[in-house]
DNA sequence: TCAAAAGTGTTATCCTTACACCCATGT
DNA sequence: ACATGGGTGTAAGGATAACACTTTTGA
């Protein structure tokens, strides 16, 4: 009965066909710069209409990105499916679902293709790079404007609420900086109309004050923020950084890559211990002098670890051993 | 130039419209049973064709689930978007993208509606409940059949590989049980043709040996597995359990709920410390004798914690304090 | 000789784990 | 009294954080 009702209800509806897009956040790290693959004037993520020809979404994505850009993609994971994005230009009649993916690769592969265009993701999110301490834009630009925004709320309660959200997201008032809150920060700035995309809806053009960070087409910057957040979170519990490394690397290079992604510095001795005790890498026996200073041992990723260990991930106090 | 090329390429393609479905994994826990909302003969997850009327996917989902089942949904999160599912009945001409969601609620809300049909998720995944130790089905049924399957590989290397995968997924050979590997286990059993869904493709009907676990329509069981895995992972770093609890509860009730989800027992004293030191709950001052034994203190969830703390989540050895 | 990078120890502190034990109620 | 569940304490072990220090190269 239940099933029959449901089917009838469905059949009664109009055929609600939609368009589906694949959107890719393709990331590489080159000497300290976390880069994202873009098209156009570096203001759009690569995207392609969804085809059913491929066996799966992932393989479809892999195929077209590799074909289009010459990038062999290593790691791929689904990010999020957007359908409720704020349409640019008001009533856009096109109904589009965007299925977004995060992919990791190495920029060197790109040299043969002229098309791809890499940009540091901190061009789009200048407030996210805390490797040299809190960047000026946070304290000099964002903080005052966010405070202003908070004061603009009609009620006392709402003012406090806004202030608190800003403080948590950006680590004001001695709350610490949390590098994973990329999306929350972006959405806060959007809500406060401090970034260009927010002004597009005609919501309010506002003063022509310069907006921090390079903007992107449609909601692509939001998708990029989602990707960065996911990656910053993921590197902490899965060995995905190695997808971004050359086959052979020094521990400091590895560290610099992690720092580029996280947007903050890590402690060298402790980082090395962490890596080594997890047995993620093994020495090649070679060294390199190209890094300057004392020659550095070269390592390679132990692919075997992917088979051996499924990282425990326990955080519950399990019973009886 | 790049952008123009891309647009041209797009325009050249045929209009590739698709159908989109929302599929919900709605979970509640009632006295030790983790339950999932189903329709039909309890062999399908609730689903609905995607409409663009709603502001967002989430609000759309919330609306129709609440309307259809009388369930007010607390927490909602997107699970995954499937488009590459193995079509039932070979060449199904319908092109469907399924956007799946995980939602948490409380079963009590359901009493007014006759429609919803709750089933313990361990009916569908009997091998996932380790609260009373390793369930017999694992050792008596799955293990021998998986070994058989592993031996069936043509090459030595492939045999070892299969054996290792089975061991990791199910914790054979003194590798421990990892409750989060729900999806891997399902997919392994699928590959080994040990569950009903695998036989549907006509791949091979095989012997009519009884398949463990109740099957579901299409790939719904796979979606459910994805939801369980996500939830088992999530309860460890986000206070989502409380969405499944009554407004007021005892710590043991909370523990039993966690155990129901995780499918394993946790250590009581340590669990309590964990909860209390994170300041997730506060005493109501009341006690209850309904649990038997000594009266238990009643607690409520401190909703304020959601604002205050953004759980650190650091696992990198950050530099200079 | 000095700068720059590589690499090693050492300690204090916190968190997790694994126990053992006592308390309050109903039957 | 005793079964049942509620609740507390403690000590060992491991991981993390913070810091100081030595080594090896090129300029």
pLDDT of residue A276: 86
pLDDT averaged per 10 residues in sequence order, chain B, 321 residues? 39 57 92 89 86 72 78 88 61 72 81 70 96 93 96 94 93 89 96 88 57 92 97 92 94 94 93 89 91 89 76 68 41
Q: Which of residues 6-45 of A touch B (CB under 8 A)?
A: 6, 10, 13, 15-20, 39-41, 44
What share of chain A in percent tops pLDDT 90?
Answer: 53
Q: What is the CATH number of domain B3-123?
A: 3.90.79.10
Q: Report the candidate in A31, A113, A133, A9 with the shortest Cα–Cα distance to residue A66.
A: A113
Dist. CA B239–CA B88, nearest whole Å: 38
CB proximity A269–strand D (7 Å threshold): yes
Q: From the C1' of D4, which residue's alpha carbon is nearest? A: B293
Q: Encoding tokens for residue A75?
A: 């790691």
Alpha helices in chain B (DSSP H): 2-12, 57-69, 121-124, 136, 143-151, 156-170, 182-191, 196-200, 220-234, 251-262, 268-277, 304-308
B17-62 pLDDT, tens per residue?
A: 778 889 999 999 988 899 999 988 889 999 888 776 666 778 888 8
Q: Which of residues 208-247 of B touch A (CB under 8 A)?
A: 233, 235-237
Q: Encoding tokens for residue A25?
A: 């956040």
Counting as low any pLDDT under 50, the low residues of chain A are: 1-15, 88-91, 205, 321
Specify the length of chain A in residues: 321
Do residues B73 and B104 lie in contact, with contact meaning Cβ atoms separated by under 8 Å?
Answer: yes
CB proximity B318–strand D (7 Å threshold): yes
pLDDT of residue A201: 61
**Residue ranges of domains in chain B:** 3-123, 131-213, 237-313
Choose the CATH number for A237-313 among 1.10.10.10, 1.10.357.10, 2.102.10.10, 2.60.200.20.
1.10.10.10
The verdict on a CB contact (< 8 Å) between B314 and A236 is yes
The verdict on a CB contact (< 8 Å) between B317 and A52 is no
Number of Cβ within 10 Å of residue B97's Cβ equals 22
Packing angle, helices A220-234 and A251-262, rounded to 10 = 140
Q: From the C1' of C17, which residue's alpha carbon is nearest? A: A317
Dist. CA A42–CA A2, nearest whole Å: 51
Q: Encoding tokens for residue A134?
A: 């809190």
pLDDT of residue B128: 97
Q: Which of residues 268-307 of A touch B (CB under 8 A)?
A: 268, 270-271, 274, 307
Q: Encoding tokens for residue A224?
A: 């990029």
Q: Which nucleotide's C1' is closest to A314 (Cα)? A: C16
pLDDT of residue B292: 79
Beta bridge partners of A118: A37
């Amino acid at each position: 009965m239940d099933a029959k009702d449901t089917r009838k209800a469905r059949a009664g509806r109009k055929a609600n066909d939609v368009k589906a897009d694949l959107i890719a956040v393709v990331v590489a790290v080159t000497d300290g710069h976390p880069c994202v693959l873009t098209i156009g004037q570096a203001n759009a993520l690569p995207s392609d209409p969804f085809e059913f020809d491929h066996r799966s979404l992932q393989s479809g994505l892999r195929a077209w990105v590799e074909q289009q850009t010459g990038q062999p993609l290593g790691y791929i994971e689904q990010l999020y499916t957007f359908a409720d994005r704020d349409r640019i230009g008001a009533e856009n009649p096109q109904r589009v679902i965007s299925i977004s993916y995060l992919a990791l690769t190495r920029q060197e592969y790109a040299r043969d293709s002229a098309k791809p265009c890499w940009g540091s993701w901190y061009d789009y999110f200048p407030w996210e790079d805390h490797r040299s301490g809190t960047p000026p834009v946070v304290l000099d630009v964002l903080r005052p404007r966010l405070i202003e925004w908070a004061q603009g709320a009609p009620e006392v309660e709402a003012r406090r609420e806004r202030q608190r959200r800003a403080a948590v997201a950006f680590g004001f008032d001695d709350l610490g900086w949390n590098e994973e809150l990329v999306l929350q920060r972006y959405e806060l700035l959007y809500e406060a109309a401090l970034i260009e995309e927010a002004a597009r809806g005609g919501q309010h053009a506002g003063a022509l004050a310069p907006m921090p960070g390079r903007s992107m087409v449609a909601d692509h910057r939001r998708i990029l923020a989602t990707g960065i957040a996911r990656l910053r979170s993921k590197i902490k519990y899965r060995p995905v950084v190695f997808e971004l490394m050359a086959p052979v690397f020094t521990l400091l290079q590895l560290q610099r890559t992690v720092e580029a992604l996280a947007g903050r510095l890590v402690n060298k001795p402790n980082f090395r211990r962490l890596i080594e005790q997890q047995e993620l890498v093994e020495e090649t026996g070679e060294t390199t002098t190209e890094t300057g200073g004392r020659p550095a041992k070269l390592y390679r990723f132990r692919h075997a670890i992917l088979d051996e260990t499924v990282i425990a991930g326990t955080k519950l106090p399990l019973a009886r051993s």
